Amino acid sequence: MDLNNLKSDPIVVVGGGFGGLATVQALLAKSERTPIILIDQANRFLFKPLLYELLSGELQLWEVAPQYSELASELGFIFLQECVVEIDAKERKLITSSETEITYSQLVISTGVTTDYASLANLKDYAFGFSNLNDCLRIKKLITTINNSSKFMNPIVIAGGGPTGVELACKISDLLEDRVEIYLVEKEDRILTNCKSFNREKGINAIGKRNIRVYLNSYIKSIDKTFLYLSSSDNQMKNSMKIDYSFLFWTAGLKPSKSKLLDHFSDENQKIQVNKYLQIHEFKNIFSVGDITFYDKDPFPSSAQVAMQQGLLAAHNIISLRKGNQLKTFTFEDLGEMLSLGIGNASITGYGITLAGPLAFEVRRIAYLMRMPGLFLFLKSSGSWLFSKKIINRLFSQDP
């Protein structure tokens, strides 16, 4: 693609996750003639809520992570696989790691967050994160190794009792058929603190049915190759508890990936401060959406739902800005929450239903696959599911 031959300065979106891709799709739907460029350092979009099913083999790579090149030709945008390293907001241009310079008319930043290994010394050396495709593939390999060996009898420790920690614990426990004990460490006095009460209850039940021991009011104080040390966050534990662990999975903190490109825009949390229209204060032709974005007057949760809704609004506001129309304010509409709770199990609150068990698992899978960007890819991946006789029968049967 010769970027010098574009008829006008393109609208550029950096980061093709939920926020970035939703922006691109909404811009395309408005079908202006302006070229739209999506830049991502990876070659695949990743549907992160389905990473657990990729880990378990219940879904395949092509279903959870379609290639950007396929999406680009399907939907009609320009895709560049590059890492953006710098933005020159005054000159309206950005620079990639291959030293390509791209001038934009409007820019959307949606670079997301990644595992924060900085909260504990040695963490990077001994812990596995679970926030991207590589993490998932590494853990998948590890599980095969554990299943094929009698060497790993010590517990697997998972740090963080939020949705990711709980969902990961249930899936791994099922994959290991309860052979290895899992310790779930949470610093609060309960797991799934911010989840809806129905889902929390189902999550606690799912954990209780498996070989998973929960340590509440606890945190990992230090770690080395063989041992990690638990301390209590409510001072109940006098001395640290020493655990001879086999593997540590870290789901206890995320942070924006540190990059020079954000230096001009980010606050002390390294997030990008926006106004109510999702614009950066100083540069009104730059928008920010998704997990990297922070609005101090009305903070919203970090979620795929928020990122997608922001992407839609950013696209709308970009078109309005170009036409000289009034911009719209961002408001988050909470549609509900779904948890993956082991192989073939899930819990759903919202989306008009409250449901748990195998049927919830199938509804969750269909609901997510229906949101997969690109109609063709969606049909390819979910068609068999949507039209599966078995599921339709189960959805409409009177049996419990």
Q: Which residues sit at the interface with ligand FAD, rule CB under 6 A?
A: 14-20, 39-42, 48-49, 51, 83-84, 110-112, 130-131, 164, 257, 259, 261, 290-292, 302-305, 307, 338
With beta carbons less than 8 A apart as the criterion, state whether 66 and 74 touch: no
Q: Give the nearest residue (CB) to ligand FAD.
A: 17
Residue number with CB closer to ligand FAD (285 or 302): 302
Q: Which residue lies nearer to ligand FAD by CB, 231 or 251?
A: 251
How does DSSP classify residue 97? T
Q: How far, in Å, CA of 237 to CA of 365, rounded? A: 41
Q: Which two tokens stand for residue 353?
A: 């239903």
Minimal distance in Å, beta carbon 85 to ligand FAD?
7
**Shortest approach of ligand FAD to residue 44 CB, angstroms?**
8
Report, in Å, the least distance between residue 249 CB and ligand FAD.
Answer: 11
Distance of CA 163 to the CA centre of its chain: 12
Contact 46, 17 (CB under 8 A): yes
> Measured from the CB atom, is 243 or 272 closer to ligand FAD?
272
Tell me the C-alpha distance between 269 and 294, whole Å. 9
Nearest to 351 by CA among 371, 324, 331: 371
Cβ at position 46, least distance to ligand FAD in Å = 6
CB of 270 to ligand FAD, least distance (A): 12
Among residues 15 and 155, whose Cβ is nearest to ligand FAD? Answer: 15
Between 231 and 279, CB nearer to ligand FAD? 279
What is the rounded distance in angstroms from the CA atom of residue 126 to the CA atom of residue 154? 15
Q: Kindly tell me which of 182 and 338 has the beta carbon lying closer to ligand FAD.
A: 338
- From residue 331, give the alpha-carbon distance in Å to each of 21, 23, 170, 225, 307: 19, 16, 33, 46, 12
Minimum Å distance from CB 39 to ligand FAD?
Answer: 5
